[in-house]
Amino acid sequence: MVKFYTKQIQVILTFVFILFSLQSKAQLMPMEIIHYSGSPNEVTNMVILGDGYTAAQQDKFINDAKNATAGMLEQMPWRNYRNAINVYAIKVVSNVSGAAMNPNNLIDNYFGSSYWSHNIERLLVAWRSIKILSVLFYNTPFYDIGVLVVNDSKYGGSGGTFAVFSTHSSAAEIMIHELGHTYGDLGDEYWAGPQYARERHNMTQDANPLTNKWRSFLNRNGIGIYPHAESPTWHRPHQNCKMRFLGRNFCDVCSHHLEARLKFLSTPEAPARPIVLFGANKLEVKSLEKVKFFDLSTHNPTSWEWTFEGGTPEKSNQKNPEVSYRFGGKYKVILKAKNSSGENVFSREEFINVIGPAADLTPPVIVTKNVKIELDENGEAIVCAEDIDDGTYDDVELVEISISKEKFTCEDMGNNKVIFKAIDSSGNEAEAEVIVTVDDIIKPTIKAKNVEIFLDSDGFGTLNPEDVDDGSFDNCEITEMKLSKTEFGRGDVGENKVIFTIKDSCSNSVSVEVTVTVNIILSAEKGEISESLKFYPNPANDIVFIEYLKFIDPLLESIEIIDINGRILNEIRAFERNGNVIPIEVKELQSGQYFIRLNAQKSVKILRFGIVR
């Protein structure tokens, strides 16, 4: 029997995978061999990936992977196949530790693992599954089982394309249960909900012992046809299986299907030339740091010829050699593997990145100072690393200093924490936190205009700052505008000096004096002059005319001449009528503004005019 992947890998590896490897180094990652039994084409290959493990937590990842593997190989049916299983661990670095608590708000872990998937708290799912496939195919294209351990102690896991489990105290049990889903295509034997109910190896609606799919196991070791209490039309084969409760053994039905899968993938193949592949426990190292290389070739090579560009040694015939590099750079690795059927060669360009030289392992010594900067007229300020540096040095050569933030705006007002970093010629880095205080001392630019207001019929008037403002602006934001006086009455008629003040977000303020001219508008029926009359000339000299377009209002009782302060200067009850025109003498009035009020029985009309002499 031939493993499925070998039919594909001879095409994929020799044609596609090598091409991908040459074109993209981003997906290549360091790895470790946790448990090794034989050539990948003759055993079941489990690959464990980590999510939510930062660069500093990779040792923890390897330890977690080892513990989970040990727990799995202690239990049946895995224990019977411990010599037919390979377990690899690929070191995947996440920017943040742990898992998200909302799949709609993922954190910056590598594979997007999150609890509360599909609104189930403990359902821990890796939402960036394409990345999982990519990492597996670039690093271990021969994998049979993909497993993801998430660096979070909260209980959770899931099955599916990949088995996912957390680092909860029951991690190994969770992993084995989830492998039942992923590897054995088994269903949960607790009731997970109608959305998960379908015909599986260990789940059926067939309650007939003559036709039931596990009929050959019935009445032995607790195997029966047990209905789910929550949905009695669905049945499970056992009441105490690991697919129902953690800490139990798999029932005979589940064990049978897992063993069949393990046996299928652990059947030796016909001899063939090796398909060559390799990995390493580190892809980026410091000078003289050792790298462990792993032969991942198929079909049991009997000899190996390694070539390590820039390495010590430069060549090796060991299966899994250790190599160190002295000088900085990116180096190529080549492996030729042979067996009785022939040989093949595989290489990776720039596979190992060495940070050197060896003589300098000491990071720079950082000396910095906190700084205060002021925003310019555009609300911006720039600070450079040189402004913060106060004598940083290195024992060999300082090649770069930088800061995490250089440009500041109004939104950064106050104290800001900035990371100052220094790098020497050997790639050693050091960093420190400094405070950049952002201030704004530029006062707003005030623009104002003199205004004229009219008192209402009750003798009151109000003024808002916006009425006076004529386009004031600030480099950040004007937060307050106010006037020294906003309410006016008859006692304020005439010109008033009012202070207009504006303030910005940093409490910088500026003021200007404006003139507010208060006028009185005496009451009228609708506050409007009727379209039925004309008033001329305006401005006038000695006489003005009030002309009604049709006829003089028969209800007109008196005409009043009023000054700008509301004083009645003259009241005329007997007025001359020339057809539909009323002439009124005003030669006694001085230059200025006046009102004529037409008082009728049912209305009042106001006419404003000026005298110019």
Identify the CA nearest to 135 among candidates 180, 177, 96, 88.
Answer: 88
- Is 488:453 a contact under the CB 8 Å cutoff? yes
Residue-wise pLDDT for 393-446, tens only, equals: 998 789 999 999 999 999 999 999 999 999 987 789 999 999 999 999 999 999
Q: b/e for 255-282, b at 16 or more Cβ within 10 A?
A: bbbbbebbeebbeeeeeebbbbbbbbbb
Q: Per CATH, the architecture of 278-355 is what?
A: Sandwich (2.60)
| Per-residue model confidence (pLDDT) at position 605 | 85
What gap in Å lies between CA 133 and CA 135, rounded to an integer? Answer: 6
pLDDT reading at 519 higher than 80 = no
DSSP labels, 271-287: P------EEES-SEEET
Give, for 479, the enclosing helix (H) or strand (E): strand 478-483
* Segments making up each domain of the chain, as ranges: 25-266, 278-355, 371-439, 451-520, 533-611
Q: What is the DSSP letter of 321?
A: -
What CATH number does the domain located at 25-266 have? Answer: 3.40.390.10
CATH 2.60.40 fits 371-439, yes or no: yes
CATH superfamily, region 533-611: Macroglobulin (MG2) domain (2.60.40.1930)
- Rounded to an integer, the average pLDDT of 386-390 is 95
Residue-wise pLDDT for 155-170, tens only, equals: 999 988 999 999 999 9
More confident residue, 59 or 269: 59
Residue-wise pLDDT for 270-328, tens only, equals: 888 999 999 999 999 998 899 999 999 999 999 999 999 999 999 999 999 999 998 88
Q: One fold for both 278-355 and 371-439?
A: yes
pTM of the model: 0.55
pLDDT level of residue 527 (50, 70, 90 thresholds): very low
Q: What is the DSSP letter of 524?
A: -
pLDDT level of residue 4 (50, 70, 90 thresholds): very low
More confident residue, 172 or 9: 172
pLDDT level of residue 7 (50, 70, 90 thresholds): very low
| Per-residue model confidence (pLDDT) at position 531 | 62
pLDDT reading at 44 higher than 70 = yes
